[in-house]
Structure 1
Amino acid sequence: MNLKSLGYRTDLIFARFRGRVTELEEAVAVVNPRSPAHYFGNLLIFHRPPQPGDLAHWEALFAQHVGQPPATPHRLFGWDVPVTQAPQLDEFLEAGYQLEENIVMAAPQLHAPPRPNSNAQYRPLADVDEEWVQALDNQVASREDGHDEERYRRFKETQLQGLREMCRAGQGFWYGAFLDGRLVADLGVFSDGGELLRYQSVGTDPAHRRQGLCASLTFFAGEHARQHFGARKLVIVADDHASAKRVYASVGFETVERQQLLLSSRT
């Protein structure tokens, strides 16, 4: 299974631990049975971009190999091809799909941000419920607009349970920035067992944004994980339209890929 994209290759770190990854003739099927409604845990990654006439066939493959309502209330298609020209998406867009665009950023190592926050303590979370509850609360508080709080909390609780298991298995760390003993920013960094490390779920309490916490924690976590695992490349994925990519660039990440996906949400 030789995916080209750093984004998709590092996505499989989590997919393999929490679910199953199946090589099909045309695509890679990613399934997370514990969280079938999680978009990026349940998708098809095709070996080529969409072409006219693909819609019905791709949807049938998704229903067969990933899931269908009510357990899986969405369809998500990616393609393992660097974005160099616009693919032919009209058929999907006319059927109600949304185009999701991300940027994949990478760095061999990081440098301190230009305006670090030296008031916080940065460290991996201990394997105690109290700290992971704080991480859950922070992830919910820092969610993007439009997410129902109750539903998002249920999703994040399941996701963090799996990520905590990965930490216990020695596959990564969950990090926090603490002010006066309270977690105000958090994220994870996980290893593919080789040269790659992938960031996950960066979140900062809205009341503590624009204070250098996110950049400082991103730098600390990357260097701690890189030295611990002996990895050669750090990878992070950001929404192409989000301001977070400027924070990541401030500590040394550079854009290496653009990633496109087609999402149909039927909730």
Structure 2
Amino acid sequence: MNVSSLGFRTDLALLTASGSIVEDRGTHLVVRSPDNPSYFWGNFLLLASPPVPGGEKEVVGAFRTEFPLADHVSIGIDSPELTDEARAAFEAAGLAVDVATVLTAASLQPPREVEAEVRALDSDEDWEARARLSRHVDARPTEEVFMRFARQKNAQERRLVDGGRGQRFGAFVDGAVVSTAGVFVTEDGVARFQSVETHPEHRRQGLAAAVVHAAGRYALDRLGVRTLVIVADTDGEAIGVYRRLGFAEHEQQLMMEMRSGEWASSGG
């Protein structure tokens, strides 16, 4: 299966580089992250195209067959085009449908000055602080379950850092990590941002723009990147931050998920 979506193509490149497994079934891909089964978008199906009308429940059933122990269902489609009928059918099958925006930039505008130290994460303590920051960003299950998930995500990213693919930058206020953004090379000349997060008490202070800019400049100046890729909620506040930095819309990315068990009221 040839993946045309830049969003999914860069997702898959980083997942495989950090240890995930991609199985090609012709009409769809099965993506597995055995070390982190709670990672929704590390364990998902990617369809080449929407199913035939009435096939939505079969797609959910296929996910359940591939991931029988999962507390979630995550399904992507390599085309953002989804009819109103198909959307309604997926929603009736229990999935939330999200069409995100993929943006790209070849250069970046400078952000405003911030009262924080912005630098790459470079110690175990920095990465643990990043995991705990994630805990503040979203409502999650128990501390033990969430921190296991967050530390496993850190381990995946640190493999990318160790492989020379990129870095995660943080904004430090009074020694605490309050905002982060990672950026990693996915293919020649292309780098993808990962998980831009800011502590709720430190938002609207320019910190997200500062860490995205620092990470992006690192990729452009140090990694030989020509195109930066970032994905944002189409209706969220972050997309405005990225546009002000110089990112422009490239495409839409279609993702659907359902949560159950301890993750029922949160994201993964």
Does the 8 Å CA contact 2:37/2:43 hold for their aligned counterparts? yes
Please state how far the C-alpha of 1:206 moved relative to its aligned partner. 2.1
Task: Determine whether 1:35 maps to 2:36.
Answer: yes
Cα offset for 1:85? Answer: 5.7
Question: Which consecutive residues of structure 1, in runs of 5 or more, have no partner in the other structure?
Answer: none
Contact 1:68/1:74, CA 8 A, preserved across alignment: no
Q: Tell me the SS of whatever aligns to 1:18.
A: coil
Is the 2:169–2:215 contact (alpha carbons within 8 Å) kept by the matching residues of 1? yes
How far 1:90 sits from its partner (Å)? 2.8
Aligned position for 1:3? 3
The answer to whether residue 121 in structure 2 is matched with residue 125 in structure 1 is yes
> What's 1:214 paired with?
208
Letter in 1 for 2:101: I
Compare 83-92 and 166-175 and name the one that shifted more. Answer: 83-92
2:76: which partner in 1? 78
SS state at 2:204 partner: coil
Letter in 1 for 2:76: G
Q: Does 1:52 align with 2:53?
A: yes
State whether residues 20 and 32 of structure 1, in contact with CA within 8 Å, keep that contact through their aligned partners in structure 2: yes
The Cα shift of 1:84 comes to 7.6
Say if 1:134 and 1:183, in contact at 8 Å, map to a contact too: yes
**Structure-1 residue corresponding to 2:170:** 176
Provide the C-alpha distance between the structure 2 equivalents of 1:252 and 1:120, rounded to a whole number of angstroms: 22
| 1:86-128 deviation per Cα after TM superposition (whole angstroms, max 9, x unaligned) | 4623332222221122111111121112x332x32222111x2
1:155–1:105 CA distance, 2 compared to 1 (3 A): same
Q: CA RMSD in A?
A: 2.0
- Counterpart of 2:140 (choices 144, 147, 152) is 147
Count of residue pairs brought into register by the alignment: 259
Q: Secondary structure at the match of 1:112?
A: coil
Query: TM-score, structure 2 length as denominator?
Result: 0.89
Tell me what 1:25 maps to.
26
Shift of 1:173: 0.5
Q: Structure 2 stretches of 5 or more lacking a match?
A: 262-268
Aligned letter for 1:133? E
The answer on 1:92 being equivalent to 2:90 is: yes
CA distance in 2, matches of 1:262, 1:218: 26
Question: What is the distance in 2 between the residues matched to 1:207 and 1:12?
Answer: 33
- CA–CA separation in structure 2 for the residues paired with 1:190 and 1:87: 37
Contact (CA 8 Å) 2:38, 2:71: kept in 1 or not?
yes
Aligned equivalents of 2:9, 2:242: Cα separation in 1:
20
TM-score, normalised by the number of residues in structure 1: 0.89
Q: Is the 8 A contact 1:21 1:29 kept in 2?
A: yes
Aligned residues of 1:10 and 1:198 also touching (Cα < 8 A):
yes
> Is residue 68 from structure 1 mapped to residue 62 from structure 2 by the alignment?
no
Q: Deviations over 1:116-152 (max 9, x none)?
A: 32x32222111x21211222222222x23x4336233
Deviation string 1:39-82 (CA, Å, 9 cap, x unpaired) is: 11111111112331212432343244x4122xx12222111114
- 1:56–1:139: structure 2 CA closer, same or farther, 3 Å change rule? closer
CA distance in 2, matches of 1:14, 1:87: 33
Change (3 A) 1:230 1:130: same
2:235 alignment partner in structure 1: 241
The amino acid that maps onto 1:177 is: A
Q: Is this contact kept in 1: 2:168–2:182, CA < 8 A?
A: yes
The 8 Å contact of residues 78 and 254 in structure 2, kept in 1 or not, is answered as no
CA gap 1:45/1:21 in 2 versus in 1, 3 angstroms: same
User: Which has the larger displacement, 83-92 or 128-137?
Assistant: 83-92
Query: Quick one: which of 95, 102, 105 aligns to 1:104?
Result: 102
**1:116, 1:215 within 8 Å by CA — same for their partners in 2?**
no
| 1:192 maps onto 2:210 in alignment | no
Residue 200 of structure 1, CA deviation: 0.8
Q: Percent identity?
A: 33
| Counterpart in the other structure of 1:137 | 132
